[in-house]
Amino acid sequence: MSLHPTRLNAEQLAQNFADLAPRYTHNEALLEAARCLFCYDAPCTRACPTGIEVPKFIRQILERHVAGAGHTILSANIFGGTCARACPTAVLCEGACVLNQLNDKPIQIGRLQRYATDYVMERRLHFFTAGQPLGKKVAVIGAGPAGLSCAHELVKLGIQAVVYEASEYAGGLNTSGIAAYKVNTEFALAEVEYVRQIGIPIHFNTPVGRDLPVSRLLQEYDAVFLGVGLGKTASLGIEGEDLSGSFEALDFIMSTRLRRLEECVVGENVVVIGAGNTAIDVATAARRLGAEQVTIVYRRGEAEMPAFAYEYELAKSDGVQFRWHTLPRRIVGANGQVTGVECVKVQPGAKGERLQEIPGTLHTLACDMVVAALGQDALYDLYRTIPNLEMAGKRVVVDSATGATSVPGLFAGGDCVNGGREVVDAVQMGKIAAHGILQYLNSRQPAH
Amino acid sequence: MPDLSIEFCGIKSPNPFWLASAPPTNSAYQVARAFDAGWGGAVWKTIGEPIVNVSSRYSAVHYANQRVMGLNNIELITDRPLADNLREIADIKKRYPNHALLVSLMVESKREAWHDIVKRTEDTGCDGLELNFGCPHGMSERGMGSAVGQVPEYACQITEWVKEVATTPVMVKLTPNVTDIRYIARAAVRGGADALSLINTINSITGIDLDTFVPRPAVRGQSSHGGYCGPAVKPIALNMVHQVAADEQAPRRVPLSGIGGIQSWSDAVEFMLLGATSVQVCTAVMHYGFRIVAGMIEGMANWMREKGFTSTRDFIGKSLPRVTDWGNLDLNYAITAQIDQRLCIHCGLCYIACEDGCHQSIRMEKRNGTNHYEVIADKCVGCNMCMLVCPVEGCITMQERSGDKPVMSWNQYQKLLAEGRIAPIAPPAHV
């Protein structure tokens, strides 16, 4: 039996992939905004990596100045629309809300943010314009949230930004790497256009590296921002990964984002390996595409699971099964097709030792699809082309205050620096680097 | 069960909760529903020469998510034929003999007109009359309502005309749209009023539609000033009830019926503590219906039980001695705010209120990513603004720190200063 596109009809799929948290109605937004205490030096703002003035924008909603609320949000975070949908608010702004301490539900900041940013996007209200030109040009590598946020900030500062993007679309993981019921592709692309409107040219299908080395960009431009993400999902390194039916997480999620859902391929019995947030996205997406059974296999226990608690709850409510302390040993198949994953139960070894297999626990989980969600590898091929680039393991090393790398004129931010975090972190690093670049350009050419 | 009944210049009512003369007392249907729901009395919506109303005629002030903090209306007196009203009043009084039923009156400022309406109204068997000298809109332009109630001589004169023929108690309803309500109160009592009710609505413009530029309520692109009522006016009403109840120049003491923003049992108790014998309610009924009276009755009864009061007489006017002139307040009484750190949710509202609005007496410290707020005791002037803005009940409290200083009011202080027995008090050192 080979894999086939989902058997669910378009209507069912649309329902399954509809917004997890639909946009507030006007009344809902007012009701929620009225609960906000308007804290001073608000914990929610301090918990936001981009420092959005949350109480201010909520009060603007309450005062029925929704465009103003949008302006407040986008001033701090030009990808406020995606962040409203995809941010782990429970561990950021909403987690910090003082109402949690009153034994009350925190203000639903993410949903209010979406209410305000949708208002702005739909009306195409543009608040930002290019600054007085300083006669400087910066190359931005990567059209993801880090690169575009950096470019947007640079243009505001009067610095021309030109983006080089390896793929045929912009937005990075906003467009292809987040579960479709959180952010839909049309929205992600519309947001990219909204950001670009300030004047950001993008060279698509233009990978930087061997043919277009960073050193050349450093010569042609006044500075370069490296906003590339990570590469492929790390390989399991076990037998059977080449069988038909074996996938890597981001490819699978990308298919739900860039294809029509009816054309997405899904197994009937899916095993997802790994238990991070991406693994959850894969597992829930597989269920919503119509998989009968989805099992997450993780070599450690529930407590060590990297996925956020609310993601775990989401997966459980979607009927995803979890197998803890289970290590995949090989993917088994017949006629080139995946038929199962051979696993063994493991237990933590003594301190500092590897996990230990428990003898006699070898078993096979039958499945027709395996998705590896082990986190992504770094883009070593690119980094190797940049002489003198200091790395710390898989990460590019930068000065956290300016985004400057060890290479003069080369700045970096986003997943390539932090190893893969939230959209909001990438946006903030792009912003920081833009100001670092301005500082760098000013220092090279003293004011006259 | 404590006894909630009252006697109001001879009129008996099973409880102090009356419906004010207003849209809820427009018809027998409504008053019957109200009495069935538990209301002790009602003042029938002002009868007189029927008028024609406009639409729209109400507008409201909403605050944050709270609707109808204040209500405004440009509705006039009854628009129903006099005969219908009188027939229904008689019918209600027959069906509900133990409830208090008063009738609000307003006619032209002519002696004969008043004599006529008083006689015809009393023929219904009603328990008393309320003279509407308060309506601030529409009728005042025709020389009635507050046009009468704002001029002591007119108020006195018309009360006298009414008293010439009235056989039931006459209550005069006062307008707050004056500089000192006591002058009108005294005039009405001089004119023979057996009771006073206050306050009527406050002249207002509630708001303006920012798209059409037309104030609310809009009547084909225009608006008019209207009468303001609802929870927002309660503090104004309480003060006026106190002013009248404590008026040392009043010709004589008469029972008061308190009106203005009463929504709950505790609002009613507050009016009664300041001297009202009955309370009248309108906006809360327009907002929630007659059913709210159940909570008012139960709440008041419970409070009376807790306080050991067996009758409403036990507490009516009990707060009057607690209101005095500022000059009699103790300058040596001192309190300091204290923040209970176990309850603090770190919203910072106390800090910014004190820092920007008050006396810079709260310190903010960052500790492990959380803001901690602490009162600087020797700078705190005891204004208690921080306690007012704190969203956590009981988190900020005011602690007494008067020490052993003797009580000294401003008046005493001035006297001691003049006698050279005391040095001037130094200004606070908080700036």
Q: Point out the residue among B64, B349, B392 whose CB comes nearest to the CB of A39.
A: B349
A401 in contact with B at a CB cutoff of 8 Å?
no
**Chain A residues touching residue B370 (CB < 8 angstroms):** 43
**Which tens digits make up the pLDDT trace of A205-252?**
999 998 999 999 999 999 999 999 999 888 889 999 999 999 999 999
**Chain A residues touching residue B63 (CB < 8 angstroms):** none
Residues 6+ apart with CB under 8 A from B226: B57, B59, B72, B73, B74, B136, B137, B201, B203, B204, B205, B206, B217
Give the Cα separation of A5 and A268 in Å (integer): 10
Provide the percentage of residues in chain A whose pLDDT is more than 70: 99
Give the Cα separation of A370 and A356 in Å (integer): 23
Checking if the pLDDT of B136 tops 90, the result is no
A38 in contact with B at a CB cutoff of 8 Å?
yes
**Which tens digits make up the pLDDT trace of A91-126?**
999 999 999 999 899 999 999 999 999 999 999 999
pLDDT of A1:
54
Checking if the pLDDT of B431 tops 80, the result is no
**Chain B residues touching residue A39 (CB < 8 angstroms):** 346-349
Do the chains contact at A34 and B65, CB–CB below 8 Å? yes
Check the CA dihedral A131-A137-A141-A143 and report its sign.
positive
| Apex B389 CA angle, B392 and B206, nearest 5 | 120
Nearest Cα residue in chain A from B348:
A40
A102 in contact with B at a CB cutoff of 8 Å?
yes
Question: Could you tell me the CA-to-CA distances from A74 to A187, A407, B27, B134 in Å, in that order?
Answer: 16, 31, 57, 53
**Chain B residues touching residue A43 (CB < 8 angstroms):** 346, 370-371
Give the Cα separation of B153 and A150 in Å (integer): 77
Of the ranges A150-154, B138-142, B188-192, B317-321, which one carries the lowest mean pLDDT score? B138-142
B370 in contact with A at a CB cutoff of 8 Å?
yes
**Chain B residues touching residue A30 (CB < 8 angstroms):** 65
Checking if the pLDDT of B120 tops 60, the result is yes
Do the chains contact at B347 and A34, CB–CB below 8 Å? no
Give the Cα separation of B52 and B56 in Å (integer): 13
- From the CA of B258, how many Å to the nearest CA of chain A? 32
Do the chains contact at B348 and A40, CB–CB below 8 Å? yes
- Nearest residue to B71 via CA among B26, B27, B20: B20
Order across the sheet with A160-164: list the strands. A202-203, A160-164, A137-141, A223-226, A410-412
Give the Cα separation of B214 and B225 in Å (integer): 12
User: Which residues face B278 on adjacent strands?
Assistant: B257
The answer, yes or no, to whether the previous bond of B235 is cis (omega within 30 of 0) is no
A40 in contact with B at a CB cutoff of 8 Å?
yes
- Average pLDDT, whole number, for chain A? 95
Check the CA dihedral A106-A109-A110-A115 and report its sign.
positive
**Chain B residues touching residue A98 (CB < 8 angstroms):** 345-347
Output the six-digit token pair for A397.
């090393």
Give the Cα separation of B253 and B245 in Å (integer): 8
pTM for this one?
A: 0.92
Q: What is the ipTM of this complex?
A: 0.89
- Nearest residue to B274 via CA among B234, B322, B320: B320
**Chain B residues touching residue A41 (CB < 8 angstroms):** 348, 364, 371
Question: Could you tell me the CA-to-CA distances from A333 to A244, A295, A326, A367, B16 in Å, in that order?
Answer: 9, 18, 19, 9, 85
Q: What are phi and psi of A321, to 5 degrees?
A: -90, 150
**Chain B residues touching residue A62 (CB < 8 angstroms):** 64
Give the Cα separation of A372 and A249 in Å (integer): 6
Checking if the pLDDT of B430 tops 80, the result is no
Do the chains contact at B351 and A40, CB–CB below 8 Å? yes
Checking if the pLDDT of B168 tops 60, the result is yes
Do the chains contact at A40 and B392, CB–CB below 8 Å? no
Give the Cα separation of A190 and B393 in Å (integer): 46
Checking if the pLDDT of B65 tops 90, the result is no
Q: Point out the residue among A31, A40, A102 whose CB comes nearest to the CB of B345.
A: A102
Confidence at A353, pLDDT banded by 50, 70, 90 = confident
pLDDT of A357:
93
In the 3-class helix/strand/coil scheme, how is chain A assigned residue by residue?
CCCEECCCCHHHHHHHCCCCCCCCCHHHHHHHHCCCCCCCCCHHHHHCCCCCCHHHHHHHHHCCCHHHHHHHHHHHCCCHHHHHHHCCCCCCHHHHCHHHHHCCCCCCHHHHHHHHHHHHHHCCCCCCCCCCCCCCEEEEECCCHHHHHHHHHHHHCCCEEEEECCCCCCCCHHHHCCCCCCCCHHHHHHHHHHHHCCCCCEECCCCCCCCCCHHHHHHHCCEEEECCCCCCECCCCCECCCCECEEEHHHHHHHHHHCCHHHCEECCEEEEECCCHHHHHHHHHHHHHCCCEEEEECCCCHHHCCCCHHHHHHHHHCCCEEECCEEEEEEEEECCEEEEEEEEEEECCCCCCCCEECCCCCEEEECCEEEECCCECCCHHHHCCCCCCCEECCEECCCCCCCECCCCCEEECCHHHHCCCCHHHHHHHHHHHHHHHHHHHHHHCCCC
Residue numbers of B annotated as active site: 135
Token pair 């979890």 is found at: A322
Output the six-digit token pair for A52.
């959005």
Do the chains contact at B345 and A30, CB–CB below 8 Å? no
**Which tens digits make up the pLDDT trace of B15-61?**
999 999 999 999 999 999 999 999 999 999 999 999 999 999 999 99
Do the chains contact at B369 and A37, CB–CB below 8 Å? no
Is residue B93 within 8 Å of residue B124, measured between CB atoms?
yes
Do the chains contact at A101 and B345, CB–CB below 8 Å? yes
Do the chains contact at B347 and A62, CB–CB below 8 Å? no
**Which tens digits make up the pLDDT trace of A166-206?**
999 999 999 999 999 999 999 999 999 999 999 999 999 99
Do the chains contact at A41 and B345, CB–CB below 8 Å? no
Checking if the pLDDT of B308 tops 70, the result is yes
Do the chains contact at B64 and A62, CB–CB below 8 Å? yes
- From the CA of B66, how many Å to the nearest CA of chain A? 9
A-B Cβ pairs (cutoff 8 Å, strict): 38
Give the Cα separation of A202 and A212 in Å (integer): 15
| B377: DSSP letter | T
Question: Could you tell me the CA-to-CA distances from B51 to A88, B47, B139 in Å, in that order?
Answer: 62, 10, 9
Average pLDDT of the residues in A78-89: 97
Q: Which of the residues A24, A32, A37, A58 would you substitute to probe the B interface, choosing the one with the greatest number of B C-beta atoms within 10 Å?
A: A37
**Which tens digits make up the pLDDT trace of B205-252?**
999 999 999 999 999 999 999 999 999 999 999 999 999 999 999 999
Question: Residue-wise over A158-196: b if at least 16 C-beta within 10 A, else e?
Answer: ebbbbbbbbbebbbbbbbbbbbbbbbbbebbebbbebbb
- From the CA of B369, how many Å to the nearest CA of chain A? 9
Is residue B5 within 8 Å of residue B13, measured between CB atoms?
yes
Checking if the pLDDT of A279 tops 60, the result is yes
- Three-state secondary structure call for residue B100: strand
B373 in contact with A at a CB cutoff of 8 Å?
no
By the 10 Å C-beta count (0-12 exposed, 13-18 middle, 19+ buried), A338 is classed as buried
Other beta carbons within 10 Å of A243:
17
**Chain A residues touching residue B341 (CB < 8 angstroms):** none
Check the CA dihedral A12-A18-A23-A27 and report its sign.
positive
The answer, yes or no, to whether the previous bond of A2 is cis (omega within 30 of 0) is no
pLDDT of B143:
81
Checking if the pLDDT of A448 tops 70, the result is no
Q: Which of the residues A39, A46, A91 would you substitute to probe the B interface, choosing the one with the greatest number of B C-beta atoms within 10 Å?
A: A39
- Average pLDDT, whole number, for chain B? 96
Do the chains contact at B347 and A98, CB–CB below 8 Å? yes
